[in-house]
Amino acid sequence: QVQFVESGGGLVQPGGSLRLSCASSGIILSTNTVGWYRQAPGKQRDLVAWINSGGSTYYADSLKGRFTISRDNAKNTMYLQMNSLKPEDTAVYYCNAIVFGIKGAYWGQGTQVTVSS
């Protein structure tokens, strides 16, 4: 069974940093294009970043330079390092394989990130 379990969210002040983790099972992250998404209240779920099997990465333009996506192949876990956080980054963050996200499959519970002073 494919499963993604997100963790590491919480309350952080503007300008702060947070690292999210995504523990994955039933899929080998290093052989797929995998990424992070987020959904703010009242808004659609948007792609934040992805990393493919060759190590190429993509970031949403508004996040470029602040967020970094990475994998730990031994742990089959991916991460999202978030720096210089802004209130507009407040959302529930999810991880998934891109192909599954397109199909609407295998979404987990996500982890809440709240940026507020």
* Percent of all residues in the chain with a pLDDT value above 70, rounded to a whole number: 100
Residue 13: pLDDT above 90? yes
pLDDT of residue 50: 97
pLDDT of residue 64: 82
Q: In the block, which residue shows the tokens 């934040």?
A: 48
pLDDT of residue 102: 87
pLDDT of residue 107: 92
pLDDT of residue 18: 98
d(CA 113, CA 17): 11
pLDDT of residue 4: 95
Residue 3: pLDDT above 90? yes
d(CA 110, CA 5): 7
Residue 68: pLDDT above 90? yes
pLDDT of residue 57: 97
d(CA 10, CA 30): 27
